[in-house]
């Protein structure tokens, strides 16, 4: 996770909520209805989960590129640890899953303007879900025009992945994409994706 991402994390100094279980949401206004955010915050609060949103409109987006979305959720380690230890109640998990689903649904099919050094263009909005497991940072990429049923399956599979994931000895950042069947997550090291982007850029400049 980059320094920019950490600054948006709900457990970062200066944004530390009173409750340990917390979710931070980075977004650009005009795409997500504030009423949706307020409703999600209220439902999560009932389960003792703090929800903080950070509007990035007009802010420098230097660290946000094709690999990292402008729209991102950051789940605190208290949430992931509680899930992995079986300490989340069914009611809490249902509210958590439905909150993630609600945010994903609210931005599905919408577009934002992406500005590069050469041009600006409209691109579909995608949603990143960021979690930390031990030394590892995990970023799940939620995108594509899929049905609500598939959305639910993929969110459940995120938490299934947490249980099966084996922590690495050295810190690593994994980006996870859905497979062709849209039923499982495939991890790719962030460094590998950076290398691919670098090679793609070099070919384009030839």
Tell me what pLDDT residue 143 has: 82
Tell me what pLDDT residue 3 has: 43
Six token digits for residue 164: 């099966």
Tell me what pLDDT residue 117 has: 64
Tell me what pLDDT residue 126 has: 86
Residues in the chain with pLDDT values less than 70: 1-19, 58-67, 115-117, 201-206
Q: What are the structural domain ranges in the chain?
A: 3-205
Contacts within 8 Å (CB) and 24+ apart, 155-158: 155/97, 155/100, 155/101, 155/104, 156/97, 157/183, 157/184, 157/185, 158/129, 158/131, 158/185
């Amino acid at each position: 996770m980059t320094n920019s991402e950490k600054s948006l994390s709900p457990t970062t100094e200066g944004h530390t909520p009173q409750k340990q279980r917390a979710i931070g949401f980075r977004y650009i206004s005009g795409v997500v209805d504030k009423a949706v955010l307020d409703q999600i915050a209220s439902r999560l609060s009932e389960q003792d989960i703090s929800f903080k949103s950070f509007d990035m409109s007009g802010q420098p987006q230097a660290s946000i590129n094709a690999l990292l979305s402008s729209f991102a959720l950051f789940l605190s380690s208290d949430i992931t640890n509680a899930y992995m230890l079986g300490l989340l109640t069914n009611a809490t998990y249902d509210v958590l899953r439905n909150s993630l689903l609600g945010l994903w649904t609210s931005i599905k099919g919408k577009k934002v303007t992406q500005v590069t050094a050469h041009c600006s263009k409209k691109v579909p909005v995608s949603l990143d879900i960021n979690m930390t497991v031990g030394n590892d940072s995990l970023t799940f990429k939620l995108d594509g025009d899929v049905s609500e049923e598939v959305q639910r399956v993929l969110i459940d599979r995120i938490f299934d992945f947490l249980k099966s994931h084996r922590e690495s000895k050295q810190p690593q950042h994994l980006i996870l994409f859905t497979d062709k069947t849209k039923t499982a997550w495939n991890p790719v090291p962030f460094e590998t994706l950076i290398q691919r982007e670098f090679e793609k850029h070099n070919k384009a400049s030839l």
